Amino acid sequence: NAGVMQNPRHLVRRRGQEARLRCSPMKGHSHVYWYRQLPEEGLKFMVYLQKENIIDESGMPKERFSAEFPKEGPSILRIQQVVRGDSAAYFCASSQNRDQPQHFGDGTRLSIL
């Protein structure tokens, strides 16, 4: 049973470009969570999605960031017009339901030039 798959593992963008991060949850998991980890810090919650629905986006920046989890395909975290401060590791986690623990992917390291 494959784990949570994130791609790409590393992504380099120039300021002003768009970044798209993908997350395929574990088989049978319909709940997806995105977290951001800045250097030397813990993970910060960004958004919680179920299939086709955003359940909690209280940790998402108000501008430039969006997330989706379509009926088919992976969850996407999209960052428009990236800035240097967006450089971080972005982790996706999935769970089977609200009562089961979250399982994490290996993350996408985003670097902004």
- What is the distance between the alpha carbons of residues 85 and 64, in angstroms, rounded to a whole number? 12
Least distance (Å) from another protein to the CB of residue 54?
Answer: 13
In the complex with another protein, which residue's Cβ is closer, 43 or 79?
A: 43
Least distance (Å) from another protein to the CB of residue 16?
Answer: 28
Q: Which residues bind another protein (CB under 8 A)?
A: 4, 6, 33, 35, 40-45, 48, 55-56, 58-59, 91, 93, 95, 98-107
Least distance (Å) from another protein to the CB of residue 63?
Answer: 21
- What is the distance between the alpha carbons of residues 23 and 90, in angstroms, rounded to a whole number? 10
**Residues 88 and 110 sit within 8 Å (Cβ to Cβ):** yes
Q: What is the distance, to the nearest Å, from the Cα of residue 43 to the centroid of all Cα atoms in its chain?
A: 12
